[in-house]
Amino acid sequence: MTPGTPTLEMVAAAAGVSRATVSRVVNGSPKVSPQVVDAVNRAIVALNYVPNRAARTLASRQAMAIALLVPEDIGRFYADPYFASVVKGITERLEPTDYVLNLLVSSSDPRHKTRRYLAGGSVDGALVVSHHAGDRDLIELSDIVPTVFGGDPTTMLGLRDRFYVDVDNVGGARAATRHLIRLGRRRIGTVTGAMDMHAATHRLAGWRDVMSEAGLDDTAVAHGDFTSYGGADAMRDLLARRPDIDAVFVANDLMARGALITLGAAGRRVPEDVALIGFDDSFAATNVSPGLTTVRQAADTMGWSMADMLLELLAGREPETRTRILPTTLVLRETA
């Protein structure tokens, strides 16, 4: 706000009306006579007036802003195309509204900055993506303003009665595993994600379900961390322990890519020797050869839905359900 910026007051003077009337026009109140609306709008254009956000927020107690909380190592967050899509969905939902998005990548410190930000009335609500099991302070944070989680917060945070959007991780993992069995594979392993994240545990559970239902050995499990390198390492581990493995369900595409490299280095052909299925259908699944068979989740829809749900809450409407679960589909490419 550089000095000289026009204010409501100045517009009012220019249009020959009161401040209140200009405010009404700016906010689209219906009870202003057409001529006055016209005069005011002319003055607004003439002065190039733009309402001051801080003043508005202060007076109306509405920030018209939403925080995106990323309780995650920032490098990892940005490296994963999945998150990119979620953010994309969020921005797309917010685009036609007056809300703006504030990025809060949480400090490793006890999130003082974040807490101050939320409690300071800078935002009306928050969106949480990528939460982990030790994120106890998220519990506190989610009490400060209306919050929608991306992914089930009950599993890892023990938070009940929260609003969240999730994908059908269990169902997706089941479908992938069933597909591998249908292909005739029997010695099927899995590479999990970071086990402090709900998506990892849910996907593992889906795999395990199907394996035991089919009467197959469900102990060929190696733990990864959702990164490509972690996937490569876990695959190596799995291969060492179960050299006769003939298929692997990997909990995300990034790790599947790492696994692919490990398998190649070990001289295993994919899918002839070992079939591989990833999860996400992110950018990491396409544009790589061989094309990765994977479980598609609509990450941008996830972001979109989260924002949509929060908008409902902020509008004072109670969403129909506190939970939205998005479907997954198996996308067949070359690796399985």
Partner DNA sequence: ATATTCTGTGAGAGCGCTCTCATACCGGTT
Partner DNA sequence: AACCGGTATGAGAGCGCTCTCACAGAATAT
Write out the residues near a second copy by the rule CB under 8 A: 1, 5, 50-55, 57-58, 61, 63, 65, 68, 74-75, 78-79, 81, 84-85, 87-88, 91-92, 95, 98, 100-105, 107, 113, 115-117, 119-122, 228-229, 257-258, 260-261, 264, 283, 287-289
Q: What is the CA radius of gyration of the chain?
A: 25
Among DNA, a second copy, none, what does residue 75 contact (CB within 5–8 Å per kind)? a second copy
Q: Quick check: 243 and 273 in contact, CB under 8 A?
A: no
Query: In DSSP terms, which residues pair with 249 in a beta bridge?
Result: 190, 277
Look up tokens 């239902």; give the residue.
Answer: 213
Task: Say whether residue 55 binds DNA (CB under 7 A).
Answer: yes
Selected from 13, 26, 105, 216, the binder of DNA by CB under 7 A is 26
Measured from the CB atom, the residue of 79 and 181 that comes closer to a second copy is 79
Task: Say whether residue 107 binds DNA (CB under 7 A).
Answer: no
Under rule CB under 7 A, how many of the chain's residues touch DNA?
30
Pairing state of beta strands 323-326 and 163-167? parallel
Look up tokens 């070992």; give the residue.
Answer: 274
CA triplet 254, 260, 266: central angle to 5 degrees? 145
Q: Before 146, cis peptide (omega within 30)? A: no
Task: Say whether residue 219 binds DNA (CB under 7 A).
Answer: no
Q: Quick one: residue 80, left, alpha or beta (phi over 0 = left, psi -120 to 50 = alpha)?
A: beta
Distance in Å, CB of 200 to DNA, minimum: 41
Per-residue binder mask for DNA (CB under 7 A), 2-21, x = binder = ---x-xxx------xxxxxx
Nearest C-alpha neighbor of 334 from the set 280, 295, 283, 291? 291
Measured from the CB atom, the residue of 57 and 154 that comes closer to a second copy is 57
Task: Say whether residue 63 binds DNA (CB under 7 A).
Answer: no
Q: Quick one: residue 228, left, alpha or beta (phi over 0 = left, psi -120 to 50 = alpha)?
A: alpha
Name the residues that contact DNA, by CB under 7 A: 1, 5, 7-9, 16-21, 23-24, 26-27, 30-33, 35-36, 49, 51-52, 55-56, 58-61
